[in-house]
Amino acid sequence: MTKALDGIKIIDMTHVQAGPACTQMLGFFGADVIKVELPGAGDVTRGWLRDIEGKDSLYFTMFNGNKRSITLNTKTPDGKEILEKLIKSADILVENFAPGAMDRMGFSWERIHNELNPRLIMASVKGYAEGHANESYKVFENVAQCSGGAAATTGFWDGPPLVSGAALGDSNSGMHLCIGILAALQQRHNTGKGQKVAVAMQEAVLNLARIKLRDQQRLELTGRLDEYPHGELGIPLGDSTPRGGNAGGGGQPGWMLKCKGAWDGSDPDDYVYFTLQANAWDKICTRINKPEWVTDPEYNTFEARRDKQLKIFAYVESLLKNMDKHEVTKWAAEYDIPCGPVMSMKELAYDPSLRKLKTIVEVEHKDRGGKYLTISSPIKFSGMDIDVRPAPLLGEHTDEVLKELGYSDADITRIRGNKAL
**Positions marked catalytic:** 170
CA distances from 368 to 50, 61, 363 (A): 11, 10, 11
CA angle 340, 346, 350 (to 5 degrees): 90
What residues pair up with 197 in beta bridges, in sequence order? 123
What type of residue is 142?
N
- Alpha-carbon span 108 to 101, nearest angstrom: 9
Q: What is the DSSP string of 282-298?
A: HHHHHHTT-GGGGT-TT
Dihedral sign from CA coordinates of 26, 359, 250, 233: negative
CB-count burial class (<10 Å; 0-12, 13-18, 19+) for 18:
buried
- Alpha-carbon span 88 to 84, nearest angstrom: 6
CA distances from 249 to 208, 226, 231, 241 (A): 12, 11, 16, 11
- Alpha-carbon span 13 to 222, nearest angstrom: 48
366's enclosing H/E stretch is none
CA angle 298, 300, 306 (to 5 degrees): 65
- Alpha-carbon span 203 to 130, nearest angstrom: 12
Going by their DSSP bridges, the two strands 254-258 and 271-275 should be labelled as antiparallel
- Alpha-carbon span 178 to 189, nearest angstrom: 17
List strand residue ranges (DSSP E) for 51-128, in order.
Answer: 67-71, 92-95, 121-126
3-state secondary structure of 196: strand
CA distances from 145 to 139, 141, 218, 245, 246 (A): 10, 7, 22, 17, 18
225, HSE (Cβ side, Cα atoms, 13 Å): 29
